[in-house]
Amino acid sequence: MFRPVCTRAARQLTSSTSRAAVQQQQRRHASTPAAFDWKDPLGASNLYTEDELAIAETAESYCQERMLPRVLDAYRDEHYDPKILEEMGELGLLGATIKGYGCAGVSSVASGLITRAVERVDSGYRSGMSVQSSLAMGGIEEFGTEELKERLLPKLASGKSIGCFGLTEPNHGSDPGSMETVAKPHPSKKGYYSLSGSKTWITNSPIADVLLVWAKLESTGKIRGFVVERELCPPGTLETPAIKNKNGLRASLTGMIQMDECPVPEGNMFPEVEGLRGPFSCLNSARYGIAWGTMGALEDAIARAREYALERKQFKGNPIAKYQLVQKKLADATTDAAYGILAAYQVGRLKDEGKAAPEMISMIKRQNCDRALINTRNLQEIFGGNAVSDEYHIGRHVANLFVTQTYEGQSDIHSLILGRAITGLQAFV
Ligand SMILES: Cc1cc2nc3c(=O)[nH]c(=O)nc-3n(C[C@H](O)[C@H](O)[C@H](O)COP(=O)(O)OP(=O)(O)OC[C@H]3O[C@@H](n4cnc5c(N)ncnc54)[C@H](O)[C@@H]3O)c2cc1C
């Protein structure tokens, strides 16, 4: 039933002739030693398949031509244009790794390349896409009933329906196991659960049609996943106010989910999964995407800092790029981006082979977010006073990357996950 949409999406993703693929072949056959390319220092593009290169090129073209021109106004006005999700849907970029249901069914590496292209423009745009793809669609695909998948995934894949993922609560962020949101049989509607509680800092929630909410089932005390459909919620049972005046991720929409005896059909509870395994499994995919995405933001910061340093002249007409301290900042950042991409690539390949341990994803999420934040903050100094102007884009990346280091497991929490895996001792409590 959904195959034509899927085929169309896959065709659009792979249709454009890949200049990069041709270059890759030329490089493979060259007899002379390869020249160093500061944009791809360790030659990661040699590892991608031709389809992956074509998908990356389609995503990069869309992001640079259609998203970049909008980002400054969006960031200034704290405005997220939901049409962006529809445009992404038309290109097959949403839920791209899902097979069937109108999704493109691409590799994890291809989806990472899409994420990197989007975050090269803005981490907020990438957040909106990740929540839709990995958290809402990924959760429904992994744990939902066939009825839910067939009914909801194609609309979410097209971007005509918007999804969000509600785990964090005002009093429970790093420790979601202590959540207070509760689900119990609805007192007056037979065949429905009633959800009550508050979620906060939820990307896309103010405009979401489909809200994947995690709540404790009162009868068992176990965490379960519920697909809340806004159109089924009577007035007063579901509110999703926006959180305004953020100083990061301003080009994405963030809000709360407030539920007061909100009715949810019994069939909308994920039937099998219990406890934190459900949300953590969805978060694994999203964290994998963040590891790629933050490298896109860092690469954009490197390109902009390099260009600025070559043009800006101080002391005897020298470009500041000539000075050693400036070069060291560029060398550090370029090295970290190259390593980060190779690490994300490796985990992507293992993921598709079913060999990616969650700790591997903690490792690349933590490392890539931390290195992206530290390096963009250092590169910011190359711009001097101009760094303060948003037209140089660097300050926006720095502010955004603080959030990427914080959400979906703050970096120190990922240190604890790794520490537990290394020592066998857990240090959370
Ligand atoms: C813009 C934005 C978008 C977001 N989108 C979503 C979304 O779509 N869905 C969603 O569910 N959530 C979302 N979040 C929430 C995000 O995941 C949480 O903010 C994050 O998990 C951290 O929780 P917290 O803010 O409550 O911080 P806290 O848990 O209070 O942590 C504060 C600090 O204490 C440290 N800390 C906590 N416990 C320990 C410990 N045991 N040992 C050592 N250090 C510790 C943390 O590392 C951190 O540095 C979003 C957040 C932001 C800012």
Q: How many residues does the chain have?
A: 429
Predicted pLDDT at 27: 61
Task: Give domain status of residue 57, yes or no.
Answer: yes
> Domain end: 111, 143, 161, which one?
161
Residue nearest to atom 2 of ligand 1 (CA): 201
Alpha helices in 312-357 (DSSP H): 324-352
Report the distance separating Cα 86 and Cα 67, nearest Å. 13
> Domain end: 140, 161, 182, which one?
161
**Residue 169: domain span:** 164-268
Q: Is 200 in the pocket of ligand 1 (CB under 6 A)?
A: no
**Domain shared by 198 and 153, yes or no:** no
Say if CB 266 and CB 192 are below 8 A apart: yes
Handedness of CA 361, 415, 131, 64 (dihedral sign): negative
Task: Give domain status of residue 221, yes or no.
Answer: yes
Active site residue ranges: 408
| Cα of 365 from ligand 1 centre, angstroms | 14
Q: Is 428 in the pocket of ligand 1 (CB under 6 A)?
A: yes
| Cα of 203 from ligand 1 centre, angstroms | 13
Report the distance separating Cα 251 and Cα 215, nearest Å. 29
Predicted pLDDT at 34: 83
**Domain shared by 86 and 125, yes or no:** yes
Task: Give domain status of residue 136, yes or no.
Answer: yes
What tokens does 133 get? 């793809």
Q: Is 203 in the pocket of ligand 1 (CB under 6 A)?
A: yes
Say if CB 377 and CB 371 are below 8 A apart: no
**Domain shared by 140 and 49, yes or no:** yes
Task: Give domain status of residue 428, yes or no.
Answer: no
**Domain shared by 12 and 138, yes or no:** yes
> Which of 410, 412, 429 should be mutated for ligand 1, with most atoms under 8 A from CB?
410
User: Measuring CA to CA, which residue among 60, 126, 51 is closest to residue 292?
Assistant: 126
**Domain shared by 25 and 90, yes or no:** yes
**Domain shared by 55 and 154, yes or no:** yes
Q: Is 100 in the pocket of ligand 1 (CB under 6 A)?
A: no
**Domain shared by 33 and 157, yes or no:** yes
- Residue 232 maps to which CATH number? 2.40.110.10
Task: Give domain status of residue 28, yes or no.
Answer: yes
| Cα of 289 from ligand 1 centre, angstroms | 18
Per-residue pLDDT of the chain (429 residues; tens, 9 = 90+): 223 334 444 555 555 445 565 566 666 665 678 899 999 999 999 999 999 999 999 999 999 999 999 999 999 999 999 999 999 999 999 999 999 999 999 999 999 999 999 999 999 999 999 999 999 999 999 999 999 999 999 999 999 999 999 999 999 999 999 999 999 999 999 999 999 999 999 999 999 999 999 999 999 999 999 999 999 999 999 999 999 999 999 999 999 999 999 999 999 999 999 999 999 999 999 999 999 999 999 999 999 999 999 999 999 999 999 999 999 999 999 999 999 999 999 999 999 999 999 999 999 999 999 999 999 999 999 999 999 999 999 999 999 999 999 999 999 999 999 999 999 999 999
Task: Give domain status of residue 419, yes or no.
Answer: yes
Q: Is 412 in the pocket of ligand 1 (CB under 6 A)?
A: yes
Q: Is 249 in the pocket of ligand 1 (CB under 6 A)?
A: yes
> Domain end: 248, 268, 288, which one?
268
Q: Is 198 in the pocket of ligand 1 (CB under 6 A)?
A: no
Report the distance separating Cα 84 and Cα 105, nearest Å. 21
List Cβ neighbours of 11 (8 Å cut-off, separation of 6 or more).
none
Task: Give domain status of residue 26, yes or no.
Answer: yes
**Domain shared by 22 and 130, yes or no:** yes
pTM of the predicted model over 0.85: yes
Q: Is 166 in the pocket of ligand 1 (CB under 6 A)?
A: yes
* Closest atom of ligand 1 to CA, residue 164: 8
**Domain shared by 146 and 8, yes or no:** yes
List Cβ neighbours of 82 (8 Å cut-off, separation of 6 or more).
159, 162, 207
Residue nearest to atom 16 of ligand 1 (CA): 407
Task: Give domain status of residue 429, yes or no.
Answer: no
- Residue 85 maps to which CATH number? 1.10.540.10
- Structure letter (DSSP) for residue 234: P
**Domain shared by 285 and 381, yes or no:** yes
| Cα of 342 from ligand 1 centre, angstroms | 27
> Which of 132, 135, 164, 201 should be mutated for ligand 1, with most atoms under 8 A from CB?
201
List Cβ neighbours of 196 (8 Å cut-off, separation of 6 or more).
181, 182, 259, 260, 261, 262
**Domain shared by 123 and 64, yes or no:** yes
**Domain shared by 39 and 27, yes or no:** yes
Side-chain half-sphere CA neighbours of 296 within 13 A: 29
Number of separate domains in the chain: 3
